[in-house]
Amino acid sequence: MSEDASPRKELAAVKGTRDILPGEVEKWQALERLARETFESYGYRELRAPIFEVTELFEKGTGSTSDIVTKEMYTFTDKGGRSLTLRPEYTPSVVRAIVEHRLDLQPEPMRYYYMGPMFRYDKPQKGRYRQFHQVDIEVFGEKDAALDAEIIEMADALLRKLGVNGTETLVNSVGCRACRPAYSAALREAAGKRRSELCPDCQRKAETNPLRIFDCKVEACRAVAAAFPLIQDFLCAECKDHFAKLLGLLALYRLPYHVDPRLVRGLDYYTKTTFEIVSSHLGAQNAILGGGRYDDMMKDFGGPDICGIGFAMGIERALAAAEIALPARRALYLAALGEEAGKAGLELARFFRASGVECLVEFKDRGMKAHFGRANKLKAAWVLIVGEDELKKGRFGLKDMATGGQVDGTREELLEFLRKN
Ligand code: AMP
């Protein structure tokens, strides 16, 4: 490429964002299709919410002491002076939509899914972007741990369809409003004793929300946190039973899991179950998907007292671990010879496209040899030959570019032939 043709650096895609180009996008489409099929087979329906919301929604929902809210949000003031934020996650938007549209009046449980971009001002690295994409599911109105197990099973089923292997499922319970305060107090005390060993961020967390110290990546903080008391020793009877039932059902599904008592997952709203599926193929950013229960968010948003649970899968990470076999593209190249054939070819292309055949039409007048060269370049599977003779007879030649074999027929016969081949 000459220097003149390279893009101006200052106009390049913003750091932490990426273009998804043809060649790669087919995998995205396949993942999206498999996710849709999987979720709909469990009774989920799509719910599309806006990409930006009032900032307060995330402060309240995601949590004012979470890293996402304190450090990572794309917040701006619009021309009307409102503080808006590009969504860093999807759950608060769904909860808002349910309260706003009184979707809770529908029969429970309510099951929703969504796919789209999320935005976090984080340090870009492999598997971590500023605009990334998630597949997200949320269910409301079902307290039973059977649902927790079912969504983990559903996540696993989707990963199998995507050809993701070498995964591990981590589960934990973070307790509820009844039992967490005692645990937080124990953490606060433990963190207070070793305050000087913590990073400044965690020293602050030790006072505001000691559970968040488990999110810290600093080695010294991790070492301190490794010696903290464990939540399992503080769970109330209800949370304990819930967790035991979940583990029993995972065993029934024959889904191997690992209990990780430090899995608190960066968000303030979780209650009871948290879980993550990690891949051994992904390096440092190894969590393909994660989620948990959030039984208080709806009530906290001024809505009815309805519990919720969900998970989000990172599409970039899932694709990095996936093995998706794409069907070969089988396009038809229309080779029109002469002006009349060129005009008739437009109608023929319309006929084939309307029947679902990918049909490539070049507008430049070409001879037969040039047409074949072009069809080869475009990797067409078939060439339809449209000349004056063919037009008169209403029968056309169809050449298989791989074998060189040719068949003749009316457009209807050829369509039938293409469908069979
Ligand atoms: P979270 O919303 O933090 O619970 O994350 C759910 C999933 O989204 C993770 O397991 C990742 O697969 C993905 N994810 C989260 N943050 C990023 C990011 N900055 N870049 C790419 N993927 C991400």
pLDDT digits (tens, 9 = 90+) for 86-139: 999 999 999 999 999 999 998 777 999 999 999 999 999 989 999 999 999 999
Mutate which of 62, 159, 170, 285 for ligand 1 pocket (most atoms within 8 A of beta carbon): 285
247: which 2 tokens? 């583990």
Q: How much is the pLDDT for 283?
A: 82
Q: Please give the Cα distance from 31 to 8 (Å, whole number).
A: 33
Mutate which of 132, 170, 278 for ligand 1 pocket (most atoms within 8 A of beta carbon): 132
Sign of CA dihedral 124, 225, 66, 114: positive
Kindly report whether the global pTM for this prediction surpasses the value 0.85: yes
Residue minimizing CA distance to atom 14 of ligand 1: 314
From the alpha carbon of 289, which atom of ligand 1 is closest? 10
Count Cβ neighbours within 10 Å for each residue of 69-102 and write b for 16 or more, e otherwise. Answer: bbebbbbeeeeeeeebbbbbbbbbbbbbebbeee
Closest by CA to 102, choosing from 312, 301, 270, is 301
Average of pLDDT values for 53-57? 97
Please say whether the beta carbons of 141 and 104 come within 8 A: yes
Residue minimizing CA distance to atom 17 of ligand 1: 128
From the alpha carbon of 130, which atom of ligand 1 is closest? 19
Place of tokens 């101006």: 8
369: which 2 tokens? 């040899």
Query: Per residue in 271-288, pLDDT tens?
Result: 999 999 999 888 888 999
Q: Please give the Cα distance from 86 to 88 (Å, whole number).
A: 6
Of the pLDDT bands very low, low, confident and very high (cuts 50, 70, 90), residue 4 is: low
Pocket lining: 122 vs ligand 1, CB cutoff 6 Å: yes
Place of tokens 């009530």: 299
Please, which residues have CB within 8 angstroms of residue 244's CB and are 6 or more apart in sequence?
none
Pocket lining: 312 vs ligand 1, CB cutoff 6 Å: yes
Of the pLDDT bands very low, low, confident and very high (cuts 50, 70, 90), residue 3 is: low
Residue 225 DSSP SS3: helix
Please, which residues have CB within 8 angstroms of residue 129's CB and are 6 or more apart in sequence?
16, 17, 18, 316
Pocket lining: 288 vs ligand 1, CB cutoff 6 Å: yes
Looking at per-residue confidence, does 302 or 41 come out higher?
41
Pocket lining: 218 vs ligand 1, CB cutoff 6 Å: no
Q: Please give the Cα distance from 35 to 32 (Å, whole number).
A: 5
Q: How much is the pLDDT for 5?
A: 66
Q: Please give the Cα distance from 190 to 227 (Å, whole number).
A: 9
Alpha helix positions (H), 90-215: 91-101, 145-161, 180-193, 200-208
Q: Please give the Cα distance from 113 to 44 (Å, whole number).
A: 6
Q: Tell me: pLDDT of 1 over 50.
A: no
